[in-house]
Structure 1
Amino acid sequence: MSELSQRIAGLSPEKLKLLTQKLNQKKGNLLSKTQIKPQSRESNTFPLSFAQQRLWFLDQLEPGNPAFNICQFMQLTGLLNVVALEKSFQEVVKRHEILRTTFTIIDGQPFQVINPTAVFQLKLLNLQKLSLDEREVEVLRLANEEAQQPFNLAKDCLVRVTLLQLSQTEHALFLSMHHIVSDGWSIGILIQEITTLYKAFSQGYPSPLPELPIQYADFAVWQRQWLQGEEMMTQLEYWKQQLGNRLTVLKMPSDRPRPTVQSYNGDSQFFVLEKAITEKLKTLYQREGITLFMTILAAFKILLHWYTKQEDIVVGTDIANRNQLETKGLIGFFVNQLVLRTNLSDNPSFKDLLKQVRQTTLDAYVHQDLPFDKLVEVLNPKRNLSQTPLFQVKLVLENTQNHTFDFLGLKITPINLIKQAVQFDLLLELTEFEQGLFGLWEYNTDMYETTTITQISANFQLLLKAVATQPEASLNELKKIIDEADKQQRLSQKQACNSAIQRSLKNIKNIKRQVNDIS
């Protein structure tokens, strides 16, 4: 998950200085003026954060929904110290109270309960007796099974780790956490700490990690106290003005009607945007004094406008929401969702659209501290069990500095699975690599066919290429590019369909001729 400073890394020094001044003026330099203090541990029961509260309610509606499982699967090659590995995970669970937390109801309200004596155990499975082919099949089967395995928020330890022994020098590691106790940033923290602890414990040293200044429960208490005063009113006033009661639902055309109750059935598709286009986009956003995220967001809005014919386009995104120094090293559910609204009327050029998107995004960053769940509560949009509130399509640009396990020279190979449970109608997640931009589309399979997502992906890549080379082009000119590509694609599909029909008819004639010959 990208922190604010990472999101705006592409700004020029002059623009960055102006942004910093703006943030300090509007937020009063939050990092220096707020301090989260440890709460008394006379009781082990604490309120939920706003983000946790919404996820808890969703779990009550559909208990154990695997859409909220966060998973990391990998293969380890080399000599593994299993005792040191288990001890490392035990130490992390001991350090972070949130990993020893369950959720209960007291007087009709949800609370988090910290178990002071929870014991973590690494689950071990031995697959050495299987053949190489059988092992590969079984690893994938177990990984998919683990990804879909539900968590019971009231009873379960909300972090699971399974180690499969494939041979003396081959293991597979499955790590699963429920989103209510974790987020993308948290995974990075966990990986860093496990790596540090494993190195120490393997060599007989004690834990070198310093004591944590606070725990997640302290943050939850602080958040509720802090958002009762003037700061919440300032933040809320901006979002009420930006979104208000006029928010329109994005009406993306789908292959099937939206289910009456939101389903989480999903699939995913990958693509890689070639490096040459990525470099041209980089040149563009640096020249315009914006970021890669803003550039992609503007193009994404054009794509959605082309499909929906709507001018008022609303998209969600994620922000790390760790603006307090005390939260930087904590595992927990901190990530916040921002609602980014853009008006595409009057046929703007792409460069003009970039200016609007830039301003909207910066303003959203300034007001990023209001929990999305509190915003939904206050705006109180018309409830619809068939879709997520405020937005149904999401765009995320991941941090390029991915954390990786480093177990004293062991080779680590990720095990990639197709996601089968999704939270939104459509989500595009992008990561920047040396080879270019790596994209992942997650989509609801009750609404979209695979071929539809393939075409959406192709149109978006074409659009990115167009804006990278023709930033002065107007919205209508860019839409014509997609029109022509879509027309050619449909023509190609029609020709392929006609060819298939002709082949089928020919086969039928041949079969009839053979039947007549036999007769």
Structure 2
Amino acid sequence: MSTDTAQRLATLCKEILRIDHIRPDASLVLQGASSMRLMQLVARLYEDFDVIVDLSEVMGEVTLDWIAATVEERRAADGGGAPAPAEEPMRQEGEAVPLSELQLAFWEMRRYAPAMSAYNEGVSHLVKGDLDLAVCQKVLVELVALQPALRNAYFEVDGVAVQREVPMAEIEPSLKLEVTDLSGHADPMAEVAAQHRAMYATRFDLSAPPCFRVAVWKVGERRWVVSWVVYHIVTDWWAVDVLRRSAAKLYRALMAAGVPQARPVAVPQDPHAGTRFTAEDEAWWLEKFQTPPRALTLSPRPRPLIKSYAGEMYLQELKGVSVSRLEGLRERLNVTMSSLTYAAFSLLLTALSGEDDVTVGVPFLNRQHADVQDTVGLFVNSLPVRMKAEHGVAAADYIRACHGELLEAFRHGRYPSFRLMRQLKLPTRFNRAPLYDHLFSYYENTVVDVVSEEMKLAVTEIELPRGTSKYDLSLFVTRTGDRLDCKAEYTTALFSQEEVATIVSHYQVILERLLGDATVTVGGVLDTVRARVQPSLSQQQA
């Protein structure tokens, strides 16, 4: 292979994996590649080398040497080796386009207000400095001009759910920051939390965009809270980083020049880019769920007859877990950190429910195409990942099995879960989700505090209460440097905050046990948790 190709790929992989040195003959997973970073790599291979490598080809024991050889081989064949995705016909402004199968699930939720509110998404930031609200208003308008999905209207035509891009001239009068001065309030952050809950309860009229709200609260001298809430049919959480980068760039330009030099060209949207699956994908999922998934019960409380979406969140740093030791265990087992932390959650559910057959929802980011990396849109597909725990198996082997199962699920991850539910013809359960009641997500946070001397602003992402929960229990594990944090989102009809705090402590104990005993079996891990659960139950009964 050419030295130039190898060097360029090494630089690219170091950039994406965020490491200083890369071993060309070692697995990228062993060197820290997560599924999200592999997707970014696939997109950059197309963008930088004009070579198509399917995501399924890089899931597993892939090395830099293999990628370099594949790139050269396909470049020599004029980009052959993998067929280019079919080009979408050019869309005319105002043309109605059918919803993707990922969007259809959220379209159906419009019929039930509590579910619709639970699937509002968003992010909040604490901003310190001289925030210029007039410039912020201009940034909002420019962002909506740049990202057509933010101005989509959703409706039905002859019984078919469609979306239509609304022209900027039509929507611009509706784009307003909601500004509230709470600086004189006795407890401004408590009031922000209350108003944020109310904001999350918004039931958007999908036929009349924007289907999002942006609120700015002044909470003190040169202190602000900025929150964005959007209905999930519009976009997924990846767009948070896309919009954050774009907003910072626009704010900087507007502060410098007063007006943007030119309105940026709108990012083209293809809502179906993440759902082009194959017959093999469909067959794999149907085989996986030939027998229905088990319903898991973690709470002793009676389940409501109708599923409740009222919820809270619990935040906890996992101080007893060494991230460097987890990295060491991950490397020895040759798995990703997301696989390791998922395996611990799957074992937690097994221990608490008594069920060995466990299905967990795991978000999968369908953004391997270069043209959707910077697009606001819905591409995340929550996959039902199913594992069976055998008590006599070594926990290390169980973790490796979880890793393999996740990779297989990701290989077939373009098959929409909503379609799977319809194909399986599962019986309707009004008080449970169709495939799983628990969700797990691992995320590596690279944005902590952003300080801009140029704009005289310091920005920190913060968590504010939402008052909703999509599932019985969702666990979000975030790594920030050497720190590991848990956010548990839970249904208040089934759990109290104290009970969820105990569940999170059980999760930490599982990680500690995996780190502390290389020979521990699955049954040994489960016994460790159950020994802690029994005294807790006795105290509750007393």
Structure 1 residues 31 and 176, CA gap change in structure 2 (3 angstroms): farther
Structure 1 residues 5 and 185, CA gap change in structure 2 (3 angstroms): farther
Unaligned runs of 5+ in 2: 1-12, 31-37, 39-52, 61-73, 75-79
2:506 pairs with one of 454, 459, 464: 459
RMSD between aligned alpha carbons?
3.2
Work out whether residues 438 and 473 of structure 2, in 8 Å CA contact, stay in contact via their aligned partners in 1.
yes
Aligned equivalent of 1:318: 363
Alpha-carbon deviation of 1:356?
Answer: 1.4
Aligned equivalent of 1:178: 231
CA deviation vs aligned residue, 1:388-428 (integer Å, no higher than 9, x gap) = 11111111002322377666131224443233111111110
2:280 pairs with one of 227, 234, 241: 234
Letter in 1 for 2:224: H
Partners of 1:186 and 1:375 in 2: how far apart? 25
**Percent identity of the aligned residues?**
20
The answer to whether structure 1 residue 287 and structure 2 residue 320 are counterparts is no
Aligned equivalent of 2:372: 327
The answer to whether structure 1 residue 356 and structure 2 residue 401 are counterparts is yes
Bigger radius of gyration among the two:
1
2:242 pairs with one of 189, 205, 209: 189
Alpha-carbon deviation of 1:136?
Answer: 4.1
Aligned equivalent of 1:416: 463
Aligned equivalent of 2:136: 85
Aligned equivalent of 1:149: 202
Aligned equivalent of 1:448: 495
* Secondary structure in structure 2 of the residue aligned to 1:191: helix
CA deviation vs aligned residue, 1:48-99 (integer Å, no higher than 9, x gap) = 0111111010112337832111122233222222222111110110111111
Alpha-carbon deviation of 1:40?
Answer: 2.8
* Secondary structure in structure 1 of the residue aligned to 2:186: helix
Alpha-carbon deviation of 1:493?
Answer: 6.1
Alpha-carbon deviation of 1:351?
Answer: 1.2
Partners of 2:298 and 2:460 in 1: how far apart? 38
Alpha-carbon deviation of 1:486?
Answer: 2.6
Alpha-carbon deviation of 1:38?
Answer: 5.3
Partners of 2:54 and 2:418 in 1: how far apart? 28
The answer to whether structure 1 residue 98 and structure 2 residue 149 are counterparts is yes
Letter in 2 for 1:394: L
Aligned equivalent of 2:116: 65
Partners of 1:270 and 1:113 in 2: how far apart? 39
Partners of 1:406 and 1:89 in 2: how far apart? 21
Structure 1 residues 124 and 252, CA gap change in structure 2 (3 angstroms): closer
Work out whether residues 255 and 449 of structure 1, in 8 Å CA contact, stay in contact via their aligned partners in 2.
no
Work out whether residues 65 and 150 of structure 1, in 8 Å CA contact, stay in contact via their aligned partners in 2.
yes
Aligned equivalent of 2:435: 390
* Secondary structure in structure 1 of the residue aligned to 2:239: helix
TM-score of the two chains, using structure 2 as the length reference: 0.80
Partners of 1:329 and 1:183 in 2: how far apart? 12
Work out whether residues 352 and 530 of structure 2, in 8 Å CA contact, stay in contact via their aligned partners in 1.
no
Hey, which of these two has a bigger chunk of helix by percent?
1
Partners of 2:83 and 2:15 in 1: how far apart? 20
Aligned equivalent of 1:516: none
CA deviation vs aligned residue, 1:262-308 (integer Å, no higher than 9, x gap) = 11011121221126533222211111110111112222222111122
Structure 1 residues 86 and 353, CA gap change in structure 2 (3 angstroms): same
Q: How many pairs are equivalent? A: 482
Alpha-carbon deviation of 1:233?
Answer: 0.7
* Secondary structure in structure 2 of the residue aligned to 1:432: strand
Partners of 2:349 and 2:409 in 1: how far apart? 20
Work out whether residues 317 and 340 of structure 1, in 8 Å CA contact, stay in contact via their aligned partners in 2.
yes
Unaligned runs of 5+ in 1: 498-519
TM-score of the two chains, using structure 1 as the length reference: 0.84
Structure 1 residues 64 and 303, CA gap change in structure 2 (3 angstroms): closer
2:56 pairs with one of 23, 29, 41: 23
Q: Which moved more, 1:158-167 or 1:393-402?
A: 158-167
The answer to whether structure 1 residue 429 and structure 2 residue 429 are counterparts is no
Aligned equivalent of 1:503: none
* Secondary structure in structure 2 of the residue aligned to 1:485: helix
Structure 1 residues 343 and 166, CA gap change in structure 2 (3 angstroms): closer
* Secondary structure in structure 2 of the residue aligned to 1:33: coil
CA deviation vs aligned residue, 1:166-192 (integer Å, no higher than 9, x gap) = 566333322211111111101111111
Letter in 2 for 1:279: S
Alpha-carbon deviation of 1:35?
Answer: 5.3
Partners of 2:408 and 2:185 in 1: how far apart? 55
1:121 pairs with one of 175, 187, 201: 175
Higher relative contact order (CA 8 A, sep 6+): 1
